[in-house]
Amino acid sequence: MSDLKVTAPQDGIVVSEDTQPNSVVRFLFDDHGVRGEIVHLHEPMQKLLECVRAYPPCVKGLLLELAAAAVLIAATLKANGTVTVQIQCGKGPKALNFAFINIDKDLHFYGNVLSDEIKFTEATFREMVGQGGIMVISAFPEGGTRYQGIVSLDKDSMAEALADYFKESEQLATSFLIQSDVANAQAGGMMLQIVPNIEGNLESLHHLTTLAATLQPQELFELSLHESLRRLFWNDKVRVFDPEQVTYRCICSKERIFRVLAALSNDELSDMIAENKGIDMSCQSCGKVYHVTIDELKDLLTAKQQSAQSQAAPQASAPQASAPDAKDAAPTPAAGPTIEV
Ligand SMILES: [Zn+2]
């Protein structure tokens, strides 16, 4: 738990010493039976936006909001494992295909948007998710059972859709506030949720949500998270916990690239080697390009052939590469969404 120390005013705004960007802070209203989280992300969002450079600002904003939401959700579900938040878009002239954020228990995340050619520059949340769009939240707790919840995105904003999700899937009254600032590569938000079985918790949630709704993007992005809380809930006793760092980190690596290549047939590898120039493979999540040299391809083929010989049983048929599991699928030259599952 932290105290809420604030330094001298600066340009009329009280600025705390530590602005705590790129963090999520949990808090608890003991007297009200309401818990909450507040998040502000900047540097991780700069990296996330590099994945969607070609998209218009509205699409970038959607991904930023999804990332802020995913951080709040990951902390809420206490999954102690990976959480994936996906938007599977429906139909419509401005509907995207798919957007996702994956986030692990240490709050490292990555994500992307997938879409056919985009012929618009402006679109609302409803238009981008399209008619029939859904949000799928999946949690993969370490050593636990996979959990999945689905909610319709027939809403005007991501915050409304998320509130609906928790009401329908978790039976927990929850409110969300999500804000994004594409021009300055930042996003953030707040979640408030009842603590079950405490008298008056729903009324308190309503009261605190009304206060939270007055939080302006400028305040969220310029003040420390603690100071934002202090301004909003100055009249309510709130217990605030230490900030937890949030980082952008894609799961791709050269090793993963090699595992994907190892799953190709020897003929396919031979064809690549015959081109005599190596290959470039890009990560579908972050767009990072990995160059595989001709020598690396040759080594890979040799290793596969030797491995097949040593494993071949007398009656075995032609050696086959084993298919990569889904976790290894991130880097691949093929098109289509890729998500760690
Ligand atoms: Zn990557």
Structural domain boundaries of the chain? 18-248, 254-329
Indicate whether 129 pLDDT > 80.
yes
Is domain 18-248 given the CATH code 3.55.30.10 in the classification?
A: yes
Residue 111 pLDDT level (bands cut at 50, 70, 90): very high
Contact 301, 269 (CB under 8 A): yes
Nearest alpha-carbon partner for 146 in 101, 82, 88, 87? 82
CA distance 31 to 60: 39
Determine the distance separating the centroid of ligand 1 and the alpha carbon of 143, expressed in angstroms.
25
What is this structure's pTM?
Answer: 0.80
* Percent of the chain topping pLDDT 70: 85
Coil, helix or strand at residue 23:
strand
Q: How far apart are the CA of 50 and the centre of ligand 1, in A?
A: 11
User: H helices of the chain, where?
Assistant: 43-50, 57-77, 125-129, 158-165, 201-212, 217-222, 225-232, 254-262, 266-275, 294-311
Q: How far is ligand 1, taken at its centre, from the CA of residue 79, in Å?
A: 23
Tell me the average pLDDT of the chain. 84
Q: Are 139 and 82 in contact (CB under 8 A)?
A: yes
Q: With 0-12 CB in 10 A as exposed, 13-18 as middle and 19+ as buried, what is 19?
A: middle
Ligand 1 centroid distance, CA of 109 (Å): 11
Instruction: Report, as an integer, the average pLDDT of 309-314.
Output: 70
Q: How far apart are the C-alpha atoms of 307 and 287, rounded to whole Å?
A: 32
Spell out the CATH class of 254-329.
alpha beta
Q: Quick one: CA dihedral 266, 268, 269, 270, positive or negative?
A: positive
Residue 41 CA, ligand 1 centroid: distance in Å: 19
The rounded Å distance from CA 330 to ligand 1 centre is 7
CA of residue 165 to ligand 1 center, whole Å = 29
Bridge partners of 283?
A: 331
The C-alpha R_g of the chain, in whole angstroms, comes to 23
Please name which of 289, 298, 303 lies closest in space to residue 254, comparing C-alpha atoms: 289
pLDDT at residue 28 tops 90:
yes
Cα of 242 vs centre of ligand 1, distance in Å, is 30
Tell how far CA 189 is from the center of its chain.
14
At position 67, the amino acid (one-letter code) is A
Please tell me the distance between residue 4's alpha carbon and the centre of ligand 1 in angstroms.
Answer: 38
Q: Please list the residues that pair with 88 across neighbouring strands.
A: 98, 134
∠ Cα 277 51 260 (to 5°): 45
Interval between CA 61 and ligand 1 midpoint (Å): 20
Contact 23, 39 (CB under 8 A): yes
> pLDDT tier at 320 (50, 70, 90 boundaries)?
very low
- The pLDDT score that the predictor gives to residue 38 is 95
- pLDDT at position 37: 95
How many A from CA of 284 to the centre of ligand 1?
7
- The two structure tokens encoding residue 327: 């976790």
